[in-house]
Amino acid sequence: MKNFFDNTEIAFQLKSDSELERAYFLFKMIAHQPLVRIGTAVTNFAIKAHLPVDGLIRATVFDHFCGGVSELDCMKTVDALYTAGVCSVLDYSVEGKETEEQFDAVVARTLKLIDFVNEKEAIPYAVFKPTAMGRFDLYVKVGTGEKLTSEEKEEWERIVFRFDTVCKKAYELNVALLIDAEESWMQIAADDIVEEMMRKYNKEKPVVYNTLQLYRWDRLDYLKELHKRAKEEGYIIGMKFVRGAYMEKENDRAEEMGYATPICASKKETDDNFNNAVHYIMEHLDTMHLFLGTHNEDSTMLVLNIMEEKGIAKNDSRVWFGQLYGMSDHISYNLAHKAYNVAKYLPFGPVRDVMPYLIRRAEENTSVAGQTTRELSLLSAERKRRKL
Ligand SMILES: Cc1cc2nc3c(=O)[nH]c(=O)nc-3n(C[C@H](O)[C@H](O)[C@H](O)COP(=O)(O)OP(=O)(O)OC[C@H]3O[C@@H](n4cnc5c(N)ncnc54)[C@H](O)[C@@H]3O)c2cc1C
């Protein structure tokens, strides 16, 4: 099965020669850790100093990893991907906003995204991040069970109301909604709200999806407990599986504060944990649906093999595969070519506001051993095939 993802003609079918060259040089640069560090520092400085760098960022990293500055701006990309059978999940990737007005603006934006999903077959899910709807520190405080002041209680009720507003609309329009997972110390409170939303809106089918970060060793037990409660209370679980994007932050905080890290002790343990969770959910697709968010070929193959063994149709709506736009096209396009359900997370937002997202992608590609090398070798193979 090794060749399953290796067809670069399919993988890069939508890339013009110049886009292919840009991707190749971009990953060549990202492969150099010092360059990424310097680039990040210079970009952060330029943005803070209000230097006119938007054009430069747009022409390089932004256009490779993002769909545009607004929903409408993304539509050209959404339509293009769909010609190859790849769907899109529009992801408003603005981070670090902390005022009530900004949280309300995200609600308005997510409601609009739900309308898009409702109208466009090429967009199967809406998505949002918990901290886009409420203050990070308040999630933390609620998670620890600390007593809230009366203002904080009201602020928390507003967060729950924001979740409910978007989940309710998703339910009414029959639109599936993914909710991202973030740092473990804010996630406790977010998980509780998402569970409440599933209880309310997932009675007939999964409208609300939470995210399980399997670099956390406690998550499979969490999933099993949640599953037990869901069966008792009669609702269906929607779950996005990822390994997790905050490993260094998690380990650093645990060390600083002197508690056991929630992260698995090694990459191998994360992979085993991921596989065990995959086996568990694939055994229970009657009561749990899966969105597999990964760039890992083995994890993807594992699900494909189980589907084949169990005679599950390739386009069964209970199993979706997802990759980030600008990464692992060989997985997305080859899956779509074979008629599996696949979607790209397509980030969008004003160039300056999506910088934290872009920096995370650059760092992830620098630090994830093998991933950049793999992108580069696939891009080289395609350049060779096209005789560039
Ligand atoms: C569609 C989609 C949605 C996503 N949504 C979220 C989200 O909601 N929340 C979130 O946090 N991330 C999210 N991510 C990001 C995701 O967590 C990273 O892309 C992912 O961790 C990269 O791993 P991989 O599965 O592609 O596989 P690989 O490249 O095989 O694994 C790399 C990952 O393994 C883990 N790892 C690496 N080294 C070690 C080690 N020494 N010990 C323990 N674990 C280790 C880390 O999680 C690392 O990122 C999403 C990704 C996709 C594609």
- Is-contact 313 33, C-beta < 8 A? no
Q: Relative to the CA of 343, which ligand 1 atom is closest?
A: 1
pLDDT of residue 368: 62
Ligand 1, pocket-test mutation among 242, 324, 332, 344, most atoms within 8 A of CB: 242
* 130 within ligand 1 shell (Cβ under 6 A): no
For the chain, give the mean pLDDT: 93
For residue 319, list its beta bridge partners: 290
* 236 within ligand 1 shell (Cβ under 6 A): no
* 293 within ligand 1 shell (Cβ under 6 A): yes
Q: How long is the chain?
A: 388
* 213 within ligand 1 shell (Cβ under 6 A): yes
Residue written as token pair 């022409």: 59
pLDDT of residue 2: 55
Amino acid at site 223:
L
Can you tell me whether residue 355 is helix, strand or coil? helix
Residue written as token pair 């992801």: 91
Q: Relative to the CA of 370, which ligand 1 atom is closest?
A: 29
Side-chain half-sphere CA neighbours of 68 within 13 A: 12
How far apart are the CA of 152 and the centre of ligand 1, in A?
A: 33
C-alpha 198/C-alpha 23 separation (Å) is 39
Can you tell me whether residue 213 is helix, strand or coil? strand
How far apart are the CA of 247 and the centre of ligand 1, in A?
A: 9
How far apart are the CA of 365 and the centre of ligand 1, in A?
A: 11
Q: Relative to the CA of 322, which ligand 1 atom is closest?
A: 1
Residues 6+ apart with CB under 8 A from 170: 114, 126, 176, 177, 201, 207, 208
pLDDT of residue 296: 95
> What is the pTM (predicted TM-score) of this model?
0.95
How far apart are the CA of 169 and the centre of ligand 1, in A?
A: 30
Q: Relative to the CA of 129, which ligand 1 atom is closest?
A: 8
- Is-contact 356 29, C-beta < 8 A? no
How far apart are the CA of 251 and the centre of ligand 1, in A?
A: 15
**Roughly how many angstroms between the first and final C-alpha of the chain, as a whole number?**
29
pLDDT of residue 299: 97
Identify the helix (H) or strand (E) that includes residue 144. helix 136-144
pLDDT of residue 367: 63
Residues 6+ apart with CB under 8 A from 141: 148, 152
In order, the DSSP letters of 106-133 are: HHHHHHHHHHHHHH-TT--EEEE-GGGS
Cα 69-244-108 angle, rounded to 5 deg: 35
C-alpha 209/C-alpha 367 separation (Å) is 28
How far apart are the CA of 95 and the centre of ligand 1, in A?
A: 19
The Cα-based distances of 40 to 35, 46, 61, 97, 355 in angstroms read 8, 10, 11, 20, 9
pLDDT of residue 310: 98
pLDDT of residue 1: 46
* 366 within ligand 1 shell (Cβ under 6 A): no
Q: Where are the beta strands (DSSP E) in the chain?
A: 87-92, 125-128, 176-179, 208-213, 237-242, 288-293, 319-324, 342-348
Per-residue DSSP letter, 60: I
How far apart are the CA of 241 and the centre of ligand 1, in A?
A: 9
pLDDT of residue 182: 96
Residue written as token pair 């190859």: 84
How far apart are the CA of 369 and the centre of ligand 1, in A?
A: 12
| Residue stretches of the chain with pLDDT short of 70 | 1-2, 367-370
* 209 within ligand 1 shell (Cβ under 6 A): no
How far apart are the CA of 181 and the centre of ligand 1, in A?
A: 11
Nearest CA to ligand 1 atom 25: 294
